[in-house]
Amino acid sequence: MLKVVKQLFISGALVALSFGNAFAEEALKPFVLGYTTSGDIQAIADEVKGKVEAAGFEIAGSYSPYDGAIVMAITNDDLKKAAASTEFGGYAAGQRVTLTQVGDEIQVSYTNPMYFANAYRLEDTSGPAKALQSLEAALGKKTEYGTGDKKLSAADLRKYHYMFGMEYFDDPSELAEYDSYEEAVAAVEEGLAQGRGGATKVYRIDIPGRNETVFGVALNDSGCSGDEYIMSRVDKDAIRSTGHLPYEILVSDGDVYALYARFRIAISWPHLPMIQSDTGATFFNIMCAPNAIEEALIDAAGGDI
């Protein structure tokens, strides 16, 4: 009997170890550093754009949120099809390629489509997997980053929230409500064209087969909702997470949503402490941001604050 128990214990330990190894293999990170270089950032951006387009992506839009940073929003048919596989999947349709000047170095990075496919709960992850392979081939893969020592598997990401009492993926900000999809899209287009709430359009991607459209929006206010305000306080690691930007507004049928900021920001920095860190980057530094972002996006969408 003792021998049987011992064998069961050993078997259980081996199974646990295999699960542990599988977990380690499945750990995902939000960003990939393709390579570093130096020179004129705009000239390098033009080169990067050519590489991305040659890999089969379209540039949905681009902008410079602050000096020394360029963000290109990219998509393709595979990403759009995957986004269409799930309600509210539109958030994952636009991936990012970024250039960030840090000292004399320019970091060329991109978002990991598989990380965000799981964070945004897509049913079809084949398109993001193909997109990741294409980006690695086009821009290289020096290292993955963005979670520190925190390990997040696909399963972890699908149920992610930063801490008890904070929002999940399916706890969005409800920005506005209209009688139809067409009316909702027109209202968001108008609000962004007018710069209401300090928000302007970076890109628009329509999701095939659904009454769903995702807008990438620059938040230009100098206060708590602004892109530069937030990034200057939380993006302080050696390799920058510029691909967190831009924020999104999602139109689904006649309703207008955005991911709540306590989820949307945390999913890019799940390792960031609340109060104290060696770099000085903490969520406490941007305590005013979630409500400010929500109000800015409500204004842009034509809703009532």
CATH number at residue 135: 3.30.310.70
Classify residue 4: in a domain, yes or no: no
pLDDT of residue 280: 80
The CA-based angle 288-290-296, given to 5 degrees, is: 100
Full residue range of the structural domain in which residue 288 is found: 28-301
Classify residue 8: in a domain, yes or no: no
pLDDT of residue 56: 98
pTM (2 d.p.):
0.90
Classify residue 71: in a domain, yes or no: yes
pLDDT of residue 5: 36
pLDDT of residue 279: 82
Classify residue 21: in a domain, yes or no: no
Question: Which residues in 8-28 are b (16+ Cβ under 10 Å) and which e?
Answer: eeeeeeeeeeeeeeeeeeeeb
Classify residue 288: in a domain, yes or no: yes
pLDDT of residue 4: 37
- Residue by residue, pLDDT tens for the chain (305 residues) are 434 333 433 344 443 444 344 434 589 999 999 999 999 999 999 999 999 999 999 999 999 999 999 999 999 999 999 999 999 999 999 999 999 999 999 999 999 999 999 999 999 999 999 999 999 999 999 999 999 999 999 999 999 999 999 999 999 999 999 999 999 999 999 999 999 999 999 999 999 999 999 999 999 999 999 999 999 999 999 999 999 999 999 999 999 999 999 999 999 999 999 987 778 888 999 999 999 999 999 999 999 98
pLDDT of residue 286: 96
Classify residue 37: in a domain, yes or no: yes
Report how far Cα 14 is from the mean position of its chain's Cα atoms.
36
Total domain count, the chain: 1
pLDDT of residue 25: 56
One-letter amino acid of 85? S
68 burial (CB, 10 Å; 0-12 / 13-18 / 19+) is middle
Return the closest-CA partner of residue 63 out of 203, 239, 198, 226: 203
Return the closest-CA partner of residue 273 out of 243, 213, 233, 226: 233
Classify residue 95: in a domain, yes or no: yes
Return the closest-CA partner of residue 88 out of 248, 203, 252: 252
